[in-house]
Amino acid sequence: MDFTDLLAYKKGFSLAMNIYNISKIFPKEEKYSLTDQIRRSSRSVCANIAEAYRKRKYPKHFISKLTDSDGENSETRVWLEFAFACEYINQDTFDELELENKEIGKLINYMILNPIKFGCSNIEN
């Protein structure tokens, strides 16, 4: 198994790509603020899952990187709320993206609570 096979990674990647495509319509004045931030945080979810998976020999490192991923996922949610409040996305788009975001958070938290199911060792070296 590879980290790209993890459901949290697949869904995180899908959300990041959806956000990338949707954020193309954000105003130019948001380029270095909202647009950049939401793209970075959504992509970091996947990057941290990948790092966690490669560190699964050490459960504490695995959980730490997944905690970072969960934090980035929460940050993405905040930027989605700003995009909606600024009327860059409509209610339906917000609801769809928020649902994906929540599902990713649940998947990450499942991994945090069940590291052994993802190949973590019982003993750290």
Q: Name the H helices within 86-117.
A: 91-113
Q: Choose among 21, 35, 40: nearest CA to 82.
A: 35
Task: Give me the residue spans of the domains in the chain.
Answer: 3-114
| Alpha carbons 12 and 42: distance in angstroms, whole number | 7
CA dihedral 30, 33, 36, 37 (to 10 degrees): -130
pLDDT value at residue 125: 46
CATH 1.20.1440.60, applies to 3-114: yes
- Cα–Cα separations (whole angstroms), residue 14 to 3, 42, 55, 97: 14, 10, 23, 10
pLDDT value at residue 123: 55
Provide the token pair at 71: 């934090």
pLDDT per residue as tens, the chain (125 positions):
899 999 999 999 999 999 999 999 999 999 999 999 999 999 999 999 999 999 999 999 999 999 999 999 999 999 999 999 999 999 999 999 999 999 999 999 999 999 999 988 765 54
pLDDT value at residue 121: 76
